[in-house]
Amino acid sequence: MVLKLSLSKVAARAALAIVAIAVCGGLVPVIFYQFVIGTLADERLLVSRNLLQIPVERFPSSSRLNARFAQNEIVEADRDLERAEFHAQRAVNLSPYDYRLRLTLASAKEAKGDRAGAEDSLNKALALAPSNGDVHWRMANLLVREGKLAESLEHFKVAVAYDGELLGTTLDLVFRASGGSVEALTGLVGDDQHAKLKVARFLLQQSRVTEAVSVLGSVDRNARLSSPDSPVFLNALIAAGQFEVAHGLWSSFVGAETPGTPTQETSIWNGGFESDILKDFAQFDWSLLPNEFARLSIDGTVAHGGTRSLKIAFAGRDTTNLDNAIKQLVVVKPGATYKVECYVRTGDLVTSDGPKVTVTDGGSNVLIAESDPISPGSSDWRPVSVSFVAPAGKAGGSAAVYVSIRRKPKYSLDEPTKGSVWFDDFAIKKQQQAEIGKL
């Protein structure tokens, strides 16, 4: 057998192999460079200033390494701000169109006390990234520190539009920087309806009740109804004892044309249970909570007036306790005398102590007055009433009471309550002096 070799082919392959080795050898430094830069410049990794010292000297033409070194230098306890600015400026010179590097330079300049230089650097960053929320946030904060609050507001607006989570922090910052200016806060959010709601809530947290209500009143009704901040705002007003203010706002939310609207003579909302209970705005509507001792429902087949009534179907469990399950918060005038009236019907009610209509202090939940217990048995509609003197308001303000239906056992164990009770046509009337004398 004769082996034939083509020298030309062997030589070509050898040459190709030599070229490949040369190329790979040349790529090794490039790969190593990219690895070092990519790893050390990655801000997700914690890299000390000392660890960056040698690489930044070995690769001085890397803008990313210079910027990372400058960032680390700025935050060190024994920082050298001249060196930080030097490397930050070098990074900008190497990559003049990367706005992020100008943010680092701005930080270095401000740390040195050169706020004018920092502002100039941020302006150049904005020229490169005019819609970037982070850049606007940095500029807004710098302008506040420079005492240029009015100029900062437009930048805050862009930053908040970019990241809505910044609004709370921004409101607090602008509020303090402006000396508590409501105009600055409203100017910040402009016509943004949902942002106005957050401003109102913020002002309430600062105990600026009048201004908070004014801002909330400027919000479109549909926006108020759809915002989760509205019920939170009302709850905060009630918790602060601002019952009258809360009720006025609540009335504007639900609308005066809604069925069950209180009148001067009848100030219990939905006293006849003719309208559905409002889901998110039940602050001054009936509150019906689940109870293991009774089933609460709106009965559309039995009524004293209208077409519906409240039905309580007792479950017949031992030591029946019906407390805080049925109630409505009602605004009253402190010190005035009132009379709560309603109508009751019973069906096969078996109880050792029937449910009562009670009145408790809206602020402390202390019992003020209660009606006689509902008698057992079956009966057609009959009136039930209870009179009381309204409590003093918080800090001399408005007052409120809870009108409730309760059944609290006298003893730790009593016979189960069975059967049903219907309530309808609740009303509360302020008593005149002549009527009070007859009580």
Q: pLDDT tens, 250-282?
A: 988 886 444 444 444 447 999 999 999 878 888
Q: Which of 211, 243, 206 is nearest to 396 (CA)?
A: 243
Give the model's confidence band at 30: pLDDT under 50 very low, under 70 low, under 90 confident, else very high.
very low
Give the model's confidence band at 230: pLDDT under 50 very low, under 70 low, under 90 confident, else very high.
confident
As annotated, the residues of the chain forming the CATH 2.60.120.260 domain(s) are 287-438
As annotated, the residues of the chain forming the CATH 1.25.40.10 domain(s) are 28-130
Least confident of 43-47, 220-224, 227-231, 332-336: 43-47
CATH architecture of 287-438: Sandwich (2.60)
The DSSP bridge pattern shows strands 418-430 and 287-288 to be unpaired
pLDDT of residue 49: 59
Q: Which two tokens stand for residue 317?
A: 């469990």
Residue count (the chain): 439
Place of tokens 């059967």: 419
206-225 average pLDDT score: 88
296-301 average pLDDT score: 96
Q: What is the mean pLDDT of the chain?
A: 84
Whole-prediction pTM: 0.70
CATH of domain 28-130: 1.25.40.10
SS3 340: strand
SS3 331: strand
Give, in order, the Cα–Cα distances in Å from 382 to each of 267, 269, 299, 306, 385. Answer: 21, 21, 18, 16, 10
Does residue 2 surpass a pLDDT of 60? Answer: no
pLDDT of residue 31: 46
| DSSP-assigned letter for residue 166 | G
Residues contacting residue 118 through CB under 8 Å, at least 6 positions apart: 106, 107, 109, 110, 142
pLDDT of residue 140: 96
Amino acid at 113: G
